[in-house]
Amino acid sequence: MSRLIDSFAELLGRAPRRKPVREEVSSEITDLHNRKRSDKTRIANIKIELAHKAQHKQPEKLRRKRWAVLIAVNLLFVLSFQLDIQMLEGALTASRFVGFHFADLNAALQVMLAYKHVVINLLIGTVTVFILWWLLGGRTFCSWVCPYHLLGEWAEILHLKLAQRKIVRDHPFDRRARAWFWLIFAVLALVSGYTVYETISPTGILSRALIYGPGLALLWVAVLLLFEIFYSRRAWCRYACPIGLTYGLVGVTSPFKVQYHLESCFHEGECRKVCLVPHVLQTVIKGHARELDVDIGADCTRCGRCVEACPTGSLTFKFKAPGDLI
Ligand code: SF4
Ligand code: SF4
């Protein structure tokens, strides 16, 4: 139960738990750290492998596959509209796939708060999407479907190149801001009767622009991307987007996780360098893990970049049995 509470609190912006003191970790974990510390050959081999990787940068295969899935999903909307094949109608906010209603969970919440009644089709769409994203892990939506995520990743590549040349530097914000944004837009929908967030949601703006053609709202998306390139790395998805938080909340009890294995980890930290939400990987820092196998928190987007970056295979995808979720 405590890991669920931690996961929930971290989503709302609480800092990850502090490093445990010696008395808080089992003797099994202490012995394991001692054994690993003395394995000098393994440590040296990992360093050689990392130096080789840095010189001969390989394409991230899973990342490419994920981009292909994300583009394919968004293309399906476009083609369905352009060719009028009615397989997938609507946009990411609300759609119908071969007759089944789907609704983005945050948009559905905004609509319910704004109009103060629940339409049956919206309810069906919300429940269907809830079950789907619960099974896949809520924030899987972000890295595998959201069109802004893809642009955000490309902006991040530019940001990192500029940062490497010391032209820009990252300015992190307080992660609690996202929960406040979520609350403010919920209250705005309730009191104004409008789905206010939808007017500034880069996810909705991009999805509609792809399907129905570009509009002035794209300027807002451009401003966000420029802000991320020149001022704050992945700022929107890290500190602001209420959709990300909604899906994160769905994913708190999801059976699909990224799992960390202390036994094989040598704490070189490659995973944290590539992660959109590195606070969820605090447990990989030497001395932080409280268990041998640790579920990564619900803010994780299941993008798989850490799984691919880890030189020791210490992060894996895992489907958990129902009894093992709490
Ligand atoms: S946090 Fe928001 S904008 Fe970012 S990927 Fe998720 S839904 Fe898209
Ligand atoms: S923990 Fe791994 S899978 Fe999750 S968001 Fe970070 S890099 Fe992606």
Residue 174 lies in a domain: yes
Query: Domain ends where: 249, 277, 297?
Result: 249
Residues 275 and 230 in one domain: no
Domain that holds residue 274: 2-46+255-324
| Residue-by-residue DSSP string for 218-286 | HHHHHHHHHHHHHTSTTHIIIII-HHHHHHHHHGGG-SEEEEEEGGG-----HHHHH-SSGGGGGGGST
Structural domain contains residue 57: no
pTM of the model: 0.92
Domain boundary among 234, 249, 264: 249
Render pLDDT for 43-96 as a digit per residue (tens, 0 to 9): 888 888 888 877 777 778 999 999 999 999 999 999 988 888 777 788 888 888
300 lines ligand 2 (CB under 6 A): yes
Answer yes or no: do 15 and 135 share one domain: no
Any domain includes 10: yes
Confidence of residue 324 (pLDDT cuts 50, 70, 90): low
Same domain as 158, residue 73 = yes
Dihedral of CA 212/215/220/221: which sign? positive
Residues 178 and 76 in one domain: yes
The reply to whether 105 and 217 lie within a common domain is yes
Any ligand 2 atom below 6 A from CB of 66: no
**Shared-domain flag, residues 191 and 297:** no
The C-alpha angle 286, 56, 316, rounded to 5 degrees, equals: 40
**Domain presence at residue 60:** no
- Please give the pLDDT value at position 99: 75
Mean pLDDT of the chain: 92
Q: Are residue 83 and residue 197 in the same domain, yes or no?
A: yes
Tell me the sheet residues that pair with 235.
none
For ligand 2, say whether the CB of 305 is within 6 Å of any of its atoms. Answer: yes
Tell me how far apart the alpha carbons of residues 206 and 223 are, in angstroms, rounded to a whole number.
13
Question: Which of 149, 210, 277 should be mutated for ligand 1, with most atoms under 8 A from CB?
Answer: 149
d(CA 47, CA 49): 5
Burial call 196-219: b when 16+ CB within 10 Å, e when fewer: bbbeebbbbbbbbbbbeeeeebee
Q: 320 pLDDT band (50/70/90 cuts)?
A: confident
Rounded Cα–Cα distance for residues 154 and 175 (Å): 22
**Which of 249, 269, 290 represents a domain boundary (last residue)?**
249
Same domain, 114 and 154: yes
Can you tell me the distance from the alpha carbon of 100 to that of 121, in angstroms, rounded to the nearest whole number? Answer: 9
56 lies in a domain? no
| pLDDT tens figures, 112-151 | 999 888 888 888 888 988 999 999 998 999 999 999 999 9
Q: What number of residues does the chain have?
A: 326
Q: Is residue 212 part of a domain?
A: yes
Is 281 found in the same domain as 156? no
How far, in Å, from the CA of 234 to the mean position of ligand 1? Answer: 10
In terms of domains, do 91 and 234 share one? yes
- 242 touches ligand 2 (CB under 6 Å): no
Residues 186, 140 share a domain: yes
Token readout for 283 is 């447990």
Average pLDDT of the segment spanning 152-159: 98
pLDDT reading at 257 higher than 90 = yes
**Whether residue 323 has pLDDT greater than 70:** no
122 and 74 in a common domain: yes
For residue 144, the 8-state DSSP code is H
Q: How many Cβ atoms are within 10 Å of 60's Cβ, its own excluded?
A: 16
Domain tally, the chain: 2
